[in-house]
Amino acid sequence: GQQLNQSPQSMFIQEGEDVSMNCTSSSIFNTWLWYKQDPGEGPVLLIALYKAGELTSNGRLTAQFGITRKDSFLNISASIPSDVGIYFCAGLNYGGSQGNLIFGKGTKLSVKP
Amino acid sequence: GAVVSQHPSWVICKSGTSVKIECRSLDFQATTMFWYRQFPKQSLMLMATSNEGSKATYEQGVEKDKFLINHASLTLSTLTVTSAHPEDSSFYICSASRETQYFGPGTRLLVL
């Protein structure tokens, strides 16, 4: 089945630094999503990307849908302590709400004040 | 908008008992809801797709007789873990679809 390779697995950074993480796949997706999960909570949607090449921002977060539709990256600028958590990328097999999400293994972000 | 709730948030039960988890979309209707399971330090794994008014679609390796899903209305889906065993202890998360998937806060199940 489809799999997503998400990297890095974990990051330890200083407050104020920028962060970059990415996901790649051997097959294409119609939609890429980025979620953040805090301990003991469900994932919260950060950014949704629907078109190849699309670059979307949400505050300090920026994500891009790769031209090949096989990859996506998420950047966080000027990190703050509350950015700590696990970030998951997810690909949607086909458009529409009935599609199944395929999740990456997550990037655990730690921010040192 | 797009708020999804789950109840209970955590449950501890004895081995052999059944546990029901509810997933509700609070401010929108969802014809499709999804149930995931997440083990510690791992990603979310889709268990089943719940469609309002029809049978759920289970992923390979998920026993449909053990994990009963009922999607009785456009705002409620339930997952019942029947005859729970310690290996069923996990974090169960539902999501509801509205353009994309919005997740509930999860239910932590501990089977003793």
Q: Which residue type does B90 have? A: S
What are B's interface residues with A at a Cβ cutoff of 8 A?
A: 4, 6, 30-32, 34, 42-46, 49, 91, 93, 95, 97-106, 108
Q: Which residues pair with A111 in a beta bridge?
A: A13
Q: Do A98 and B32 touch (CB under 8 A)?
A: yes
Residue A86 pLDDT more than 90? yes
pLDDT tens-digit profile of B47-96? 999 888 888 999 989 999 999 999 888 999 999 999 999 999 999 999 99
Q: Of B11, B4, B13, B24, whose CA–CA distance to B74 is shortest?
A: B24
Q: Which chain B residues have a beta carbon less than 8 Å from that of A10?
A: none
Reading the block at residue A74, the tokens are: 């998420």
pLDDT tens-digit profile of A28-60? 898 999 999 998 999 999 999 999 999 999 999
Note which residues in 64-93 of chain A have CB less than 8 A from chain B.
Answer: 88, 92
The pLDDT, as a whole number, for residue A100 is 74
